[in-house]
Chain A
Amino acid sequence: MGKMTLEELRKLREQKKGEMVQRDSAGKSAQIIIGMGTCGIAAGAKEAFDAFLDELDSHGITDTRITQTGCMGLCFSEPTVEVAVPGMPRVVYGNVDGTIARRIVREHIIGKALVSDHIFDKPAADIIN
């Protein structure tokens, strides 16, 4: 393994694209929103990000987007992650370390069941008007 160029990345992308299952249609994809503000970063949001990527990849899931946002006002429960799966309620999870991130992929995104022991959905008092 040596230095990777953009051209090599392009070839890898083409190769991977052939292996990917085509998306059914727009709107059927899951979305994972990771709180990546100062508080999220300090609490380990990037470890959660790595775990989400790895777990999605290991299950061959390609119809998911991972986006980032700033502080959601839940600094006490960082890393926080919002998950939106079509046909299910939007949920904000708190204290999402690598282990919980992997559970969210397996139980929520694949199994369509909420990870109830990590749901946090109420913004901090200094954020809400």
Chain B
Amino acid sequence: MHATICDLITDLVQNSIEAGATETTLTVEERGTELAIVIADNGKGMSAETLERAKDPFWSDGLKHKHRRVGLGLPFLFQTAEATGGTARIESEEGVGTTVEIRLDTANVDLPAFGNFATAATTLMAYGFEGNLEIERSAGAKRYKVGKRGLEEVLGDLEDAGNLSLLKRFFEENEQELAR
């Protein structure tokens, strides 16, 4: 499995972007010892058959790499949920989109560390795609919400190193406020 939950989140949101989604929302909520993550997109979606096959680590649709026979993103998700007493659910419809819902128990000793959300969010916002990504983050009663379009309007080119530093600082300060 991935070393941190934020690595897992990065991988799953990249799936939405690579599915051609024009709108993706990532919601990460900490409520006591429950960590609830929802990733919803309007990308190309999957048939029930494709979704079932995507859970197999030795299957890939072959679109990115013609000869490659592994696909680890979704298997890492189910492995993490199953090994730590959590749940993971995927709903997908071809031509409509995909929603991934994860519930994890942060008190479970086998759960990987949460990781660095500021870096994960920065890399996702700057992943180089046309669509929008909205991030909603909360811990208890504290929350913040930001979208890629708003950030582009303020910063311009999100792949510029100077802007990336500012973007990371934005997420770091908001994450620190959540943890306070």
Instruction: Please tell me which one of the listed residues A9, A20, A57 contacts residue B170 in the complex, with CB atoms under 8 A apart.
Output: A9
**Residues of A with C-beta under 8 A to B122:** 49
Residues of A within 8 A of B169 (CB): 4, 12
Contact with B along A54-90 (1 / 0, CB 8 A): 0011000110111110110100000000000000000
Contact residues on B (Cβ < 8 Å of other chain), bracket: 35 or more
A6 touching B154, Cβ below 8 Å? yes
- Considering the complex, which residues of chain A in the window 1-23 have a beta carbon less than 8 Å from any beta carbon of chain B? 1-4, 6, 9-10, 12-13, 16, 20
**12 further interface pairs, Cβ-Cβ under 8 Å (given A57-B162, A67-B128, A126-B69):** A1-B177, A4-B174, A36-B14, A38-B11, A46-B6, A46-B10, A49-B119, A52-B161, A67-B159, A68-B126, A70-B14, A70-B18
Nearest Cβ on chain B to A50's Cβ, whole angstroms = 6
Number of interface residues of A (CB under 8 A): 36
- Stretch from B47-55, B80-88, B89-97, B143-151 that touches the partner: B143-151
Chain A residue with minimal CB distance to B6?
A46
**Contacts A/B (CB < 8 Å), 6 sampled:** A3-B173, A3-B174, A36-B10, A46-B6, A65-B160, A126-B68
Closest to B180 in A: A2
The residue that A6 contacts in the complex, of B11, B18, B150, B176, with Cβ under 8 A, is B150
Residues of B within 8 A of A38 (CB): 11, 72-73, 76
Q: Chain B contact residues: over half helix, strand or loop, or mixed?
A: helix
Residues of chain B within 8 A of A115, CB atoms compared: none
CB pair A53–B165 under 8 Å, yes or no, is yes
Cβ of A119 under 8 Å from chain B = no
A61 vs B11: C-alpha distance when bound (angstroms): 29
